Structure 1
Amino acid sequence: MEEIRDTSADLITRHNLNSAYTVVQNSPLCIRTPMFHRCQQIFNMKENVQLHLKLENLQMTGSFKVRGLANQMAHLPEAVVKGDWPVITMSCGNYGKALSYAANKLGIRSTVIMPKTAPDNRAVLIRRYGSKVVKVDVSELQSKVDEKVANEGMYFIHPLDDLNLIAGHGSVGLEILEDVPNPDIVIVCCGGGSLLAGTATAIKLHCQTPCRVYGVEPETACTMFKSLVNDKALTDHKSHSFAPGLSAPFVGKYSFAHNKKFVDDILLVSDSEIISAVKLLYKAGLKVEPSGAAAFSALMHHKVPDVSGKTVVVVITGGNVSPEELVNIFEM
């Protein structure tokens, strides 16, 4: 299997995407998620839009994260695969859960470094798969990883800025094109930016007709938006949002490069708009976490330009929200 070269000038290619797509489709870690077709009437949309929802909240481990991870796992060093070299990552929840799930399946020892602000129930889920969890201040995430890599001989798997990760996430875009050929608009949330990068790249390189791809970030956690405005990947941005999965404190160089080239624009939504989207999706029978509802929120709150008469696909990225969290949301 071809390894993607790790240089700052690289962008993934059609070949990289197709190779990663094969990995994801054949991986026991992933499923092909369903497309909720022509659901505009369910949400009483006033615009003349044909709406389709890509339901990654039904993916294994409850989010899209396992797609990119499956492709990363396909490129691990032999010592890691054999279980001689433990892996480590940093995550506020969904990526850590996906890594722990995969490591458990493959018999690999794993550690997840989490910010102290991450919900406790996320750490509980990660530990259930057998991973060690270490909580630190957000500012100490990378330094703690570096410390354990240096002192304990761990192998770092990057949660948001890795070319194999981005290519694996591109499988979302390829599945969209198989289920909804030639969409006019695709909307994807943006946290670390790897899902948006992979999906946008796949759409732009494979779609037979023009298609706009929008990323969506919270107004108070718009790291990618500000990076694109400043034309450089921000490495220390103070982000906070009701959607913790979208509160990335930095943007990686690979995600930035792909989003700069292939994404049409980044749209911003408020926390209250995200909360209303979670409620609306739940009433339609879909359990979606705040981070997973952000892209849908942008469409519902008229942030997406020129949608009338268009075929629109929204990626619902995750469903890892507890009953207690839902109760709190509906009380807001």
Structure 2
Amino acid sequence: MEEAQTLLSLQMLQEARKTVQRSTLQVIKTPLIHLPHGAIPMKINCNLYMKLENMQTTGSFKIRGVANQFSRRESGPFITMSAGNYGKAFAYASKHFGHQGKVLMADTAPASKTALIASYGVEVEQIPSKSLLPTVEQLVKDQKMIFLDPFDDIDLIAGHGSIGLEILEEIPNPDVVAVCCGGGGLLAGVAAAIKLSGCTTTNIYGVEPKEGSKSFQICSQHVKEILLVSDDEIKAAVSMLYKIGLVVEPSGAAAFAAIVGEKINLKGKTVVVLITGGNVSPEELCCIVH
């Protein structure tokens, strides 16, 4: 675990928090709202809070890591791989700072997402998913492009960690924090921020893992357990959140699904769950919410 400790320190997280706060990308301190018992159909009586990153600039937490990544690099051209929220945040930042950018997307990505990312002025190229990484490596070599990793980058992870520090400003010692995994960068950053701040009794749970190596090293030190939720459980969570007035994309509701699915012992505990994104089309939402 010593190697994981050297990857990310509390000082790095605090510096990243300041960078994110000062960024001209207008990253906001998102609301942390209390959900009274009875507001949703949960049998467990716990003190439940939701951190609403679906209300963040570009509609997800990704802009936090992107803000820190861009602050550490003077100029492009930059290249990344993403068909989702990271690609949107990357494109938004590239346009804002006037950097040349390119986003590689799998040829199976929806046309709507391709068009959205391209609308920010970055070049978008769709290729077979198996060719994404080799193409990035070739462009980095031949055209001297700078690769920004969408999930397994220390600057990115530290930027995401700003969420953990924000949570502790309002709830100094939560019993449980539940975080969607995705690529592992968010979970690693939030978990490190909370544990390195001295919250030794806080249990941090990840939901739906697919982690990179740096993220995995950090998560393995600070995360208690990885939980799995089904597609049906996630859809039910999206529907439940919609009915209390929150528009949340399926991947952004995974941690909430684990909470309402009672996959953790929460009775009498103070619980924080991250709602990570709200980039869902009306058509997709109509198929989920009943």
For the superposition of Structure 1 and Structure 2, which TM-score range results when normalised by the shorter chain? over 0.9
Q: Among 44, 63, 67, which residue is 1:66 paired with? A: 63
Q: Identity over the aligned pairs, expressed in percent?
A: 52
Asked if structure 2 preserves the Cα contact closer than 8 Å seen for 1:169 and 1:198, the reply is yes
Asked if structure 2 preserves the Cα contact closer than 8 Å seen for 1:277 and 1:297, the reply is yes
Q: Secondary structure of 2:35's match?
A: coil
Deviation at 1:150, TM superposition (A): 2.1
Question: Could you list the per-position Cα deviations for residues 108-129 of structure 1 after superposition, in whole angstroms to 9, with x for gaps in the alignment?
Answer: 0111111223222221111111
Deviation at 1:9, TM superposition (A): 7.5
Unaligned runs of 5+ in 1: 1-6, 224-250
Q: Among 190, 201, 213, which residue is 2:181 paired with? A: 190
Question: CA separation in 2, counterparts of 1:253 and 1:59?
Answer: 27
1:134 equivalent in alignment to 2:125? yes
Letter in 1 for 2:52: L
Q: Among 52, 64, 80, which residue is 1:55 paired with? A: 52
Deviation at 1:16, TM superposition (A): 0.3
Question: Could you list the per-position Cα deviations for residues 34-62 of structure 1 after superposition, in whole angstroms to 9, with x for gaps in the alignment?
Answer: 11123443113221101000000000000
Question: CA separation in 1, counterparts of 2:120 and 2:138?
Answer: 23
- Equivalent residue number for residue 20 of structure 1: 16
Deviation at 1:322, TM superposition (A): 0.6
Letter in 1 for 2:30: T
- Equivalent residue number for residue 262 of structure 1: 222
Q: Secondary structure of 1:111's match?
A: strand
1:317 equivalent in alignment to 2:282? no
1:328 equivalent in alignment to 2:253? no
Deviation at 1:295, TM superposition (A): 0.2
1:296 equivalent in alignment to 2:256? yes
Asked if structure 2 preserves the Cα contact closer than 8 Å seen for 1:8 and 1:253, the reply is no
| Residue 145 to residue 8, structure 1, CA distance change in 2 (3 Å) | farther
Question: Could you list the per-position Cα deviations for residues 288-312 of structure 1 after superposition, in whole angstroms to 9, with x for gaps in the alignment?
Answer: 00000000000111111x2100000
Q: Secondary structure of 2:150's match?
A: coil
Asked if structure 2 preserves the Cα contact closer than 8 Å seen for 1:177 and 1:207, the reply is no
Letter in 1 for 2:205: Y
Q: Among 75, 81, 84, which residue is 2:72 paired with? A: 75
Question: Could you list the per-position Cα deviations for residues 126-180 of structure 1 after superposition, in whole angstroms to 9, with x for gaps in the alignment?
Answer: 1111111111222221112112222222111111111111111110000011122
Runs of 4 or more above 6 Å deviation: none
Unaligned runs of 5+ in 2: none
Asked if structure 2 preserves the Cα contact closer than 8 Å seen for 1:52 and 1:313, the reply is yes
- Equivalent residue number for residue 114 of structure 2: 123
Asked if structure 1 preserves the Cα contact closer than 8 Å seen for 2:5 and 2:218, the reply is no
Letter in 2 for 1:327: C
